[in-house]
Amino acid sequence: MSEVASRVEAASLRLRRASLAGGELVDIDCAGGRIVACEPTGANRPVGAACEVLDLAGMLVLPAFVEPHAHLDKAYTADILSNPTGDLAGAIAAWHGAAAAMTVSEIAGRARRAVRAYLDSGCVAVRTHVAVGPGIGLRAVEALVEVAHEVADLVELQVVAHVGHPLAPSGSRHATLLRDALAVGANLVGGSPHLSDDPIAETYACVEIAGEAGVGLDLHTDETLDPAMLTLEVLAKAVVASGFTGGVTASHCVSLGMQEGSVQRRVAEELAMAGIGVVTLPQTNLYLQARSVETAAPRALTALGALERAGVVVGAGGDNLQDPFNPLGRADPLEAASLLVSAGHFTVERAHHAVTAAPRRLLQLPEVEVRVGSPADLVAIGARNLREALAEAPGERVVVRVGRVLVDNRRGDARGVAVDGEASWR
């Protein structure tokens, strides 16, 4: 990584003719990893000898994206793992049928390719859920921890140990594997308690193990249209009862969208009081859910309005990247943002917030804005305004992390990093 870092580091950086979301044309100066000046273009401020100057020619500059929910251990397996039913059960069966034969090297190679795709789109941080359990063992976690170390200068990669069932009691084989995954280097506790035979016990077990380890918690929760399934409320009660102080995120939360309004409001308020954030995942849930519903099929999204009105932090992620759970996906948060506008009725601004500021809070990263004093984590896009960026998702992008230009693909020139197919970072 030292060779990569030496190519991308600069003593300081000036982004000339950057267009802000409000339409202003400015020059942005970065030094020490932060924005140190942001003034109208034409001010003719002097440029130091060691300063790199990049003319953006009016590209729209935004805070860099954050992907709060990925599955990099499964990325790019759609062509080798078939899901004939197209639903969640079929995807899980396809994965479990092949996972035992997957090697650390194979998983790491696909994960590197995926991280590069996220970086090219403007993501500087990714949280990935990684399978842990019989068949796959700890190999996927070992692979992603290895990749996380390799790309640390480029992308912050948070690894969630997604454990199988049964997790309870706390001395079970799966509980032991989960603790082993944390020892190997996973950053958070994860799992899908709602899919177990005892969702309540497994939810409490996840909270207990995360508390013991002093790490955060990010659970797949209620990824179903069945309104009788509501472990999200169990999670809120478990967090409050245990006094858990680590960050807690609940992902999917689909069944909450099937509840009547009074239940949505009650659960949303409980989540807000417990400090639990929610990640909605429109691509995969629109693909997997409601396949047997032929009339008035639900959109398979969580109760977005009730959550936001209660003050719950709501982020949006891409979830699966060309695997049995979703054969499509571009590793581009603008895809999730666009779907929130069309399927979730978000405004353009709210959708952008859901892939930038909101996931930063969920991943406990510093706030980023295009203003003096902010960390210089930015993405420049070949669009005139925010609406056009979401509508067209232009491929022309410049990606800056801590004041370093990592990607400039305006002429097919990806700077700083190169990936050799399925092999390694150079």
Query: What does the pLDDT look like over 248-267, one tens digit per residue?
Result: 999 999 999 999 999 999 99
CA dihedral 105, 107, 109, 114 (to 10 degrees): -170
Q: SS3 for 67-125, per residue?
A: EEEECCCCCCCCCCCCCCCCCHHHHHHHHHHHHCCCCHHHHHHHHHHHHHHHHHHCEEE
3-class state of residue 164 by DSSP: coil
10 Å Cβ neighbour count for 169?
9
Element (H, E) at 381: strand 378-381
**C-alpha span between 366 and 310 (Å, rounded):** 23
Q: What is the fold, at CATH topology level, of the domain defined by 65-362?
A: TIM Barrel (3.20.20)
Provide the edge-to-edge strand list for the sheet that holds 123-132: 65-70, 123-132, 156-163, 188-191, 216-221, 248-252, 276-280, 314-316
Q: What is the domain partition of the chain in residue ranges?
A: 2-64+368-408, 65-362
pLDDT > 70 fraction of the chain, expressed in percent and rounded: 93
Predicted local confidence at residue 7, as pLDDT: 40
Do the domains at 2-64+368-408 and 65-362 have one common CATH topology? no
On the question of pLDDT at 281 being above 60, the answer is yes
On the question of pLDDT at 208 being above 70, the answer is yes
The interaxial angle of helices 139-150 and 173-184, nearest 10 deg, is 20
Q: Measured between alpha carbons, how far is residue 92 from residues 192, 195, 272, 323 in Å?
A: 12, 11, 31, 11
Residues 44-71: tens digit of each pLDDT: 777 777 889 999 999 999 999 999 999 9
Residues 127-154: tens digit of each pLDDT: 999 999 988 999 999 999 999 999 999 9
pLDDT > 90 fraction of the chain, expressed in percent and rounded: 86
Predicted local confidence at residue 372, as pLDDT: 98
**pTM, full prediction:** 0.93
Predicted local confidence at residue 75, as pLDDT: 98
Residues 30-50: tens digit of each pLDDT: 999 999 999 999 877 777 778
10 Å Cβ neighbour count for 373?
9
Residues 219-232: tens digit of each pLDDT: 999 999 999 999 99
Residues 177-199: tens digit of each pLDDT: 999 999 999 999 999 999 999 99
Q: What is the fold, at CATH topology level, of the domain defined by 2-64+368-408?
A: Urease, subunit C; domain 1 (2.30.40)
DSSP 13-41: EEEEEEEPTTS-EEEEEEETTEEEEEEET
